[in-house]
Amino acid sequence: MANYAIGDVQGCFFELKGLLDEINFDPAQDKLWFVGDLINRGPDSLRTIEFIYKIKDSCNVVLGNHDMHFLAIAENLRKPFKKDTLKQLLESENLNLYKKWLRNQSLLYYENIQCEGGNKIYLMTHAGIPPHWSWQDAMEAAQEIKAVLSDDKLYRDYLSNIYGNLPNKSEPNLNSLDRMRLNTNYLTRMRFCKIDGELELETKGTESDKPKGFNAWFNHPLTIKNENLHLIFGHWAALGGKTNIEKIIAIDTGCVWGYKLSAYRLEDSKVFSYDRIT
Ligand SMILES: [Mn+2]
């Protein structure tokens, strides 16, 4: 039995199956930790969701920005972008089933894992944890969003309000929709920020492309580092799976961009990869 954190699949179904063959994944024994962005931009979002839904009891999933975007489109709250590849999934006869399942996933997952050399607590989010947040802050932010997203009466209002880059930092007296937009951006879109959590969401590229006055979130002294967690995140393919920071594990290795899909075995930190073929 082993736990594997899997990077952003983004509809690369063929490569997901190849990677799972390589690690001899056994749904009866092993657990997969999906770091979000299961779908979109890649060739086969429908088959990816069909497959993960079938083995969902062996999976821990956190939502990424593309998963949220899919939910907003599926609710007719947004129009697809030109680059989106969600058409088959949106036309699936099981669309409502997949929507409901995704709406019941969280933006944060953690578990204490028995590893070689002792136990480790792994905490997974799609984009990361901003410098000014404690573990408790992160859990409260994720729980507030999960409660709304899984609520049949509240989720449409939330999804129609997650778009936009403002507010870009915590301020007193934010209303709940503004606070949830900011916290959704922290958990699903963040790359660069200031030490007080001020976000800059325009810039992509690598760590060294940081805008003036900003830094990659994980290069700040993180409040959550005091809590001896191991952080797992995806979202930032240009890092190539490296942060060079102890206990902060980047797992998106850019499969959808032509590179590879990676799995990180939590018990022994071994990395497995499968090159993009399709
Ligand atoms: Mn992403």
Q: Which domains does the chain have, with CATH numbers?
A: 3-275 (3.60.21.10)
- Given this model, what pLDDT does residue 215 score? 97
Taking a 5 Å cut-off on Cβ, the residues next to ion ligand 1 are 37, 64-65, 235
CA of 252 to the centre of ligand 1 (A): 9
CA of 116 to the centre of ligand 1 (A): 30
- Given this model, what pLDDT does residue 169 score? 97
- Given this model, what pLDDT does residue 204 score? 92
Low-confidence ranges of the chain (pLDDT < 50): none
Query: Model pTM?
Result: 0.97
- Given this model, what pLDDT does residue 245 score? 96
Q: Let me know how long the chain is.
A: 278
CA of 134 to the centre of ligand 1 (A): 22
CA of 126 to the centre of ligand 1 (A): 7
- Given this model, what pLDDT does residue 235 score? 98
CA of 129 to the centre of ligand 1 (A): 14
- Given this model, what pLDDT does residue 209 score? 96
Listed in order, strand segments (DSSP E) in 58-169 are: 59-61, 109-115, 118-124
Cα 178 to chain center, whole Å? 21
CA-based torsion, 47, 22, 126, 110: positive or negative? positive
**Alpha carbon distances (Å) from 254 to 49, 210, 214:** 19, 19, 24
CA of 62 to the centre of ligand 1 (A): 11
The β-bridge relationship of strands 248-250 and 192-193 is unpaired
